[in-house]
Amino acid sequence: MQWRSVVLGLLLLRLGLQALLALLPALAPGLCLRRRFPFPFPPPAGPGSGSSPHWGSLLRRDGGGGAAQGEDDEYERRYSGTFPPQLRARLRDAARGMFVFGYDSYMRHAFPSDELDPLHCRGRGPDRRDPSNLNINDVLGNYSLTLIDALDTLAVMGNSSEFQKAVKLVIDTVSFDKDSTVQVFEATIRVLGSLLSAHIIITDTKQPFGDMTIKDYDNELLHMARDLAVRLLPAFENTKTGIPYPRVNLKKGVPPDSNNETCTAGAGSLLVEFGILSRLLGDSTFEWVARRAVKALWSLRSNHTGLLGNVVNIQTGHWVGKQSGLGAGLDSFYEYLLKSYILFGEREDLEMFSDAYRNIQNHLRRGREACNEGEGDPPLYVNVNMFTGQLMNTWIDSLQAFFPGLQVLIGDVEDAICLHAFYYAIWKRYGALPERYNWQLQAPDVPFYPLRPELVESTYLLYQATKNPFYLHVGMDILQSLEKYTKAKCGYATLHHVVEKTKEDRMESFFLSETCKYLYLLFDEENPLHKSGNKYMFTTEGHVVSVDERFRNSLWQDILPGEEDSTERNKPHELKAVNFSSNCNRVPDERRYLLPLKSNYMRQIDRMVGLI
Ligand code: DMJ
């Protein structure tokens, strides 16, 4: 009989369920936070796959399933079990060695220039001959960028003598009185953020990283931070929306031929640094302009989807780039809504973040509903039109790999595990992350890798949340491929092409401030950062800032909502002594002791990126 009727019965049941699920959004819209969307184009066959690795077809028992968790399979063998402490210590030392080689090479061959050219062993500053070379000029301001950006990594690694030496060098030799036109965002996150972080470390009464005090320190770094921020302020003037100009000349203000278009992340992720500066100085100006920019951008979100685009005209408020995604152009905008709330406790920041997160789930997320359960494609966040929610392209970029780390901060560890696993699979395939990866073509769209930190940042935060040794294996893979493919004569070099493994003569400063720092922290179990509850937070450039009462108290009421109204609702949230590890207790035990992502789902992802 019987098996035919059983199969028929199951088939009918499934069809019935599918029909019900399709009706559900109409019946109970609130229930469907995460919508499952099919991927619209069947991708071509992957290399050597024989059959078409269609996203939706990979979850057949044999195709996407494979061995159930607990059975002996290659994923279990490779990633499960304990991670020997000796190996961990060796990897910590290797991460420190990587930083030291990059830093020493910069100091020997490049300082006082902004960056190191690791192939030719020389320094690099702004491209004065070609002002349109924004790739360089946006970042290099002729202010010893790499030295400044690396300061707190020295402290986190416990190197007090070099930290003290470097701080004195910055105080004695760096000036911002330069005829350099830089991007407001880059100067803020790399320079202002680092100066503030080092200042906080120097003045910390507890000195958790060892003795990082500076003899006769007279708040010089704070004064320098103020000087730089004042030079950035012209970007916030003469703008009809309050959204800042993207670039400013440090001596002359906004150039007369300045572009009126800015990316959302560039204009809307200044609040952490500007807010800290304001609260340390007791001067609301900086926080006020940064907060006004965030609110202006927020007010321009689509009425229909609630999403923001990636490029906006600062005078008209018209969206020039209508793409909404989690990567370039928007990444740190979301990050700073949450991090501003963590730091300052202002409810409006949390409200904006919560709305934004919901809209992201509703419109950008594709794939199955639960990371570790059910059928369907793995969850992925795609790029859509901000007004319609329609898919705009089939690539994801390497910047988006920061998002699982942000999800850890809000406690959505389950979803973070899946997105992280996708990026890790891409890393395994190329030994790096291409700047853009086309998930439909299973190939890089933009093939360079400038030593970015986002994947290791998420790996570190997921490890802290789960303590699953899987993430130490991931970190080991990243460390090994960095050594293998990017190490150069004098430092570490950008990969020009992740397939061909050709190098470019550039070591961006975030390699020392973020990539090396997160790698080191991943393996350094005993680091003071891990011993002090949730007292620290990382800026988007990986700079360590303490989350403490000093930043909860704004001495002004004029820049926050409801100034005249001092009701409970508008008071900042109190800083509670929540222990980081007690938050982690909410992570299910199986995420700690088994593979964080079941092996059948890992295999599914590996197939989808053409790894197997
Ligand atoms: C860093 O400068 C920051 O992390 C920024 O938010 C975007 N990405 C680069 C590194 O990739």
User: Can you tell me the mean pLDDT for 608-612?
Assistant: 96
CA 406 to ligand 1 centroid distance, Å: 14
**531 falls within a domain:** yes
CA-wise closest residue to 509 among 227, 229, 143: 143
* pLDDT band (50, 70, 90) for residue 532: low
- Count the Cβ atoms, other than its own, within 10 Å of residue 22: 9
- Candidate from 461, 510, 538, 543 with most ligand 1 atoms within 8 A of CB, to mutate: 510
- Give the Cα separation of 402 and 510 in Å (integer): 14
For residue 323, the number of C-alpha atoms closer than 13 Å in the C-beta half-sphere is 20
- Give the Cα separation of 355 and 572 in Å (integer): 19
CA 295 to ligand 1 centroid distance, Å: 22
**CB–CB of 314/262 below 8 Å?**
yes
CA-wise closest residue to 539 among 430, 406, 346: 406
Question: Which residue of the set 454, 508, 514, 524 is catalytic?
Answer: 454
- Candidate from 149, 335, 399, 495 with most ligand 1 atoms within 8 A of CB, to mutate: 399
User: Can you tell me the mean pLDDT for 500-515?
Assistant: 98
- Give the Cα separation of 410 and 427 in Å (integer): 25
User: Residue positions in the annotated binding site?
Assistant: 540
Question: Which residue of the set 117, 435, 524, 606 is catalytic?
Answer: 435
Whether residue 264 is predicted with pLDDT greater than 60 in this model: the reply is yes
**CB–CB of 379/417 below 8 Å?**
no
CA 540 to ligand 1 centroid distance, Å: 6
**317 falls within a domain:** yes
The yes-or-no answer on residue 454 being catalytic is yes
Ligand 1 atom at minimal distance to the Cα of residue 454: 11
How many residues can be counted in the chain? Answer: 612
Residue 61 pLDDT:
28
Q: Chain centroid to CA 379: how far?
A: 18
Residue 43 pLDDT:
38
CA-wise closest residue to 307 among 369, 367, 385: 385
**245 falls within a domain:** yes
CA-wise closest residue to 335 among 539, 195, 190, 509: 539
Question: Which residue of the set 186, 220, 287, 397 is catalytic?
Answer: 186
**192 falls within a domain:** yes
CB-based pocket (< 6 A), ligand 1: 189, 332, 399, 452-454, 510, 540-541
**588 falls within a domain:** no
pLDDT digits (tens, 9 = 90+) for 436-454: 999 999 999 999 999 999 9
Least confident span in 66-80, 301-315, 525-539, 567-581 = 567-581
CA 354 to ligand 1 centroid distance, Å: 23
Can you list the positions of beta strands (E) in 269-371? 311-313, 319-321, 323-324, 365-366
DSSP state of 198: H
DSSP state of 336: H
User: Can you tell me the mean pLDDT for 35-52?
Assistant: 36
Question: Which residue of the set 331, 397, 457, 541 is catalytic?
Answer: 331
pLDDT digits (tens, 9 = 90+) for 15-38: 443 433 333 333 333 222 343 444
The model's pTM is 0.88
User: Residue positions in the annotated binding site for Ca(2+)?
Assistant: 540
User: Can you tell me the mean pLDDT for 79-105?
Assistant: 96
**CB–CB of 501/512 below 8 Å?**
no
Strand pairing of 365-366 and 380-381?
Answer: antiparallel
- Count the Cβ atoms, other than its own, within 10 Å of residue 346: 24
Residue 592 pLDDT:
74
* pLDDT band (50, 70, 90) for residue 48: very low
Q: What are residue 284's phi and psi, to 5 degrees? A: -70, -15
**372 falls within a domain:** yes
**CB–CB of 326/381 below 8 Å?**
yes
- Candidate from 153, 338, 402, 458 with most ligand 1 atoms within 8 A of CB, to mutate: 402
* pLDDT band (50, 70, 90) for residue 568: low
Write down the mean pLDDT value for the chain. 88
The yes-or-no answer on residue 331 being catalytic is yes
Whether residue 510 is predicted with pLDDT greater than 70 in this model: the reply is yes
**68 falls within a domain:** no
DSSP 523-546: H-TT-GGGSSTT-EEE-TT--EEE
User: In CATH, what number is assigned to the domain containing residue 209?
Assistant: 1.50.10.10
**CB–CB of 187/126 below 8 Å?**
no
Whether residue 45 is predicted with pLDDT greater than 90 in this model: the reply is no
Give per-residue burial for 23-56: e unless 16+ CB within 10 Å, then b.
eeeeeeeeebebebbebeeebeebeeeeeebbbe
Whether residue 235 is predicted with pLDDT greater than 60 in this model: the reply is yes
Give the residue, by CA position, lying nearest to ligand 1 atom 3.
541
Residue 574: helix, strand or coil by DSSP?
A: coil
- Count the Cβ atoms, other than its own, within 10 Å of residue 490: 21
The yes-or-no answer on residue 220 being catalytic is no
pLDDT digits (tens, 9 = 90+) for 185-200: 999 999 999 999 999 9
* pLDDT band (50, 70, 90) for residue 158: very high
Can you list the positions of beta strands (E) in 168-224? 181-183
Structure-model confidence comparison of residues 27 and 246, the more confident one: 246
User: Can you tell me the mean pLDDT for 260-270?
Assistant: 98
CA 178 to ligand 1 centroid distance, Å: 24
The yes-or-no answer on residue 435 being catalytic is yes
Q: Chain centroid to CA 595: how far?
A: 24
**17 falls within a domain:** no
Q: Which domain holds residue 359?
A: 110-554+600-609
CA 554 to ligand 1 centroid distance, Å: 28
Ligand 1 atom at minimal distance to the Cα of residue 450: 11
- Count of domains for the chain: 1
Contacts of 345 by beta carbon, 8 Å cutoff, 6+ apart: 552, 572, 573, 574, 575
Strand pairing of 544-546 and 395-397?
Answer: unpaired
In Å, how far are 245, 250, 268, 345 from 264, measured between CA atoms?
A: 11, 22, 6, 23
- Give the Cα separation of 475 and 257 in Å (integer): 45
- Give the Cα separation of 383 and 486 in Å (integer): 30
Ligand 1 atom at minimal distance to the Cα of residue 542: 4
Residue 566 pLDDT:
52
Q: Chain centroid to CA 125: how far?
A: 26
pLDDT digits (tens, 9 = 90+) for 119-143: 999 999 999 999 999 999 999 999 9
